[in-house]
Structure 1
Amino acid sequence: MTQTQAVLVALLFLLMSLVEGPAYNMVSVEAGHEAVLSCPYTSKVPLLMAIWKMKCSTCCLFAYRSDRTETRKLNCSERMMWKYSPDSDPALRIYPVNLGDEGNYTCEVVSSAGNFIFFSSLTVIVPPTVTLTSDTSRVAVCRASVGKPAADISWIPASDRSTEEEVHHLNGTVTRVSYIGWVNSTLPTVTCLVTHPATNQTLFLDLSYTRPSLPYLLMGGSAGVAAVSGVTLCLIFRCRASRLRKLAHGSAVPAATKTFRSIPSLAKTDVIKPPILSESIYQNYNPGTIYMNY
């Protein structure tokens, strides 16, 4: 019985020490949003000084002195400021937050009642860029790029043929890629599900547009267009050859009987040759070479 009481007393003292220990706050914020780190000073005694520190060798020191109503910054970004009046609530505001702000923070409040310390841990979440594509080997590729933490990727319908790979970047973000093949599949669509603390996305890929028959269909269509274009050009050249022959036969008539009947100086002219411009255009033209067999 005495041993049991001793154990209970020890547990009670342990719980009391945990309750009276420093406060700890965990904050997760998406990049580009506002981060607020609280410093819950609840004493009725006015504070004399509030100091925020970021735990690293060259990080900022953000302090306020009530007797001078003065705020000072050392190695701190302009994005850091007081959320409220530091006399009443010395909470720290960071806006917009980025990956460089991630880390552990300490708030120390000094008053006539003593020193109070509060700890905060800031985690910055980065939503990934999600894409769903296919390659020439009939493999669907679902990519969640530059996210923090890494996104989870799943497929509908589920398949044991899917594979994944990760790329870890220097800034702490991760790119995760999942591959799934459908070479022997008759499914019309495939669905990629991306799960992330900042976003959940569902992407669909229509497999009917990636069938091998499509390139052949496009090739056949191109050949048909080429054939129609060839027939059209052939008809144009035939028409031009016919007009050329008519022009040649018409030019054999004497000029005196056509246009220059009343001009004596042209009476000795028997034949007017076709214009030089026409000869220069059609001098190498042979209509017989463009006939096509149907």
Structure 2
Amino acid sequence: MALTWSVLAAFLLLLINLVEVPAYNMVNVEAGHEAVLSCPSVSKASLLMVIWKTKCSTCCLLSYRSDHNQTMKLNCSERMTWKYSPDSDPDLRIYPVSLGDEGHYTCEIISSEGNFLFFSFLTVIVPPTVTLTFDKSTGAVCQASAGKPAADISWIPPNNASTSEVHHPNGTVTRVSWVNTTLSTVTCLVTHPATNQSLFLDLQSLWLHKLAERSAAPVATTNFRSTPSRVKMEAVKPPVLSEHIYQNYSSRTVYMNY
């Protein structure tokens, strides 16, 4: 029995030495930017093979074999490459990043020192398109379209705003907030990991413009014929009040969190 336990202990110790405890890395990157997924590096002398796998075994496979100095790429997008040389720095580079790249990635290092696993989860964020409009039935309407994750919307001064959101098939979310107010001005604040925006709307100017259109007096036009005894009066219709849309979009890089 003592011999059996000693053999089992030796076997477990061998497994611990050969397969290190996997590490985990969270990476957040804005769509259209560059993502770099890290993999632990080992000395060139001990390196045998590097293997990158995406979230499923039948998807992307990127590998390097040191004894043949050979790389292999299977079912991988051209946007996925080695960041540098795989024998010195086996990081994975994805550029430009798209929503379809989001998910789990596994890097495996096989060396004479043992096998090492490193897991990464790539999150792709998308800045929303932000607009602030005025609608005569609902009031001021602030909309953050197709963002990932959904943007947060608040108002200055604070109001009892109504909100709604639409989830799109690609994972983005459109969030809308609207408020009916008697204040002369409102400011919409949109908070998102990729962009923070502040949009201002002068409601007083809109109301004055609308009031001026309604109170515009008809303009008489005269249509002379051979004898100016018959006069035709025509009222000039005011133009339809159009929505005032303010858009201020400026994306910025969101740095990766390791």
TM-score, with structure 1 as normaliser: 0.68
CA RMSD of aligned residues (A): 2.4
Instruction: Return the offset for 1:216.
Output: 4.4
Which amino acid is 2:178 matched to?
Answer: Y
Q: Could you say which residue in structure 1 is the equivalent of 2:93?
A: 93
Instruction: Return the offset for 1:44.
Output: 6.3
Query: Which deviates the most, 77-86 or 168-177?
Result: 168-177
Larger radius of gyration: 1
Instruction: Return the offset for 1:179.
Output: 1.2
Among candidates 183, 187, 191, match of residue 187 of structure 2 = 191
Q: Could you say which residue in structure 2 is the equivalent of 1:271?
A: none
**CA spacing shift, 1:291–1:156, aligned 2, 3 Å:** closer
Q: Is the 8 A contact 2:138 2:178 kept in 1?
A: no
| Structure-2 separation of matches of 1:87 and 1:154 | 50
Instruction: Mark the runs of 5 or more structure 2 residues left unpaired by the alignment.
Output: 1-15, 234-258
| Structure-2 separation of matches of 1:167 and 1:71 | 44
Q: Is the 8 A contact 2:53 2:107 kept in 1?
A: yes
Among candidates 199, 202, 205, match of residue 206 of structure 1 = 202
Which amino acid is 2:203 matched to?
Answer: L
Instruction: Return the offset for 1:219.
Output: 4.5
Q: Could you say which residue in structure 2 is the equivalent of 1:289?
A: 230
| Structure-1 separation of matches of 2:50 and 2:120 | 15
Task: Determine which structure has the larger helix proportion and give its number.
Answer: 1
Q: What SS does structure 2 have at the residue aligned with 1:154?
A: strand
Q: What SS does structure 2 have at the residue aligned with 1:217?
A: helix
Instruction: Return the offset for 1:220.
Output: 4.3
Q: Could you say which residue in structure 2 is the equivalent of 1:165?
A: 164
Q: Could you say which residue in structure 1 is the equivalent of 2:13?
A: none
TM-score, with structure 2 as normaliser: 0.77
| Structure-1 separation of matches of 2:113 and 2:59 | 29
Q: Could you say which residue in structure 2 is the equivalent of 1:177?
A: 176
Q: Is the 8 A contact 1:45 1:113 kept in 2?
A: no
> 1:8-42 CA deviation, whole Å, 9 max, x = no partner?
xxxxxxxx9xxx62111111000000000010124
Which amino acid is 1:78 matched to?
Answer: E
> 1:67-113 CA deviation, whole Å, 9 max, x = no partner?
22222111100000000110111000000001100001000111122
Q: Is the 8 A contact 2:21 2:117 kept in 1?
A: no
Which amino acid is 1:162 matched to?
Answer: A
| Structure-1 separation of matches of 2:113 and 2:57 | 30
| Structure-2 separation of matches of 1:116 and 1:23 | 9
Number of aligned positions between the proteins = 216
Task: Determine which structure has the larger strand proportion and give its number.
Answer: 2
Matches within 5 A, 1:218-229: 218-221=213-216, 223=218, 226-227=219-220
Q: What SS does structure 1 have at the residue aligned with 2:84?
A: coil
Higher relative contact order (CA 8 A, sep 6+): 2
Q: What SS does structure 1 have at the residue aligned with 2:229?
A: helix
**CA spacing shift, 1:145–1:287, aligned 2, 3 Å:** closer
Which amino acid is 2:190 matched to?
Answer: V
Q: What SS does structure 2 have at the residue aligned with 1:215?
A: helix
Instruction: Return the offset for 1:137.
Output: 1.6
**CA spacing shift, 1:286–1:54, aligned 2, 3 Å:** same
Q: Is the 8 A contact 2:35 2:94 kept in 1?
A: yes
| Structure-2 separation of matches of 1:222 and 1:34 | 60
Q: What SS does structure 2 have at the residue aligned with 1:153?
A: strand
Instruction: Mark the runs of 5 or more structure 1 residues left unpaired by the alignment.
Output: 1-15, 238-281
**CA spacing shift, 1:287–1:202, aligned 2, 3 Å:** closer
Q: Is the 8 A contact 1:138 1:210 kept in 2?
A: no
Q: Could you say which residue in structure 1 is the equivalent of 2:105?
A: 105
> 1:263-285 CA deviation, whole Å, 9 max, x = no partner?
xxxxxxxxxxxxxxxxxxx8xx3
| Structure-1 separation of matches of 2:81 and 2:155 | 44
Query: Which deviates the most, 30-39 or 163-172?
Result: 163-172
Q: What SS does structure 2 have at the residue aligned with 1:104?
A: strand
Matches within 5 A, 1:252-263: none
Query: Which deviates the most, 43-52 or 53-62?
Result: 43-52
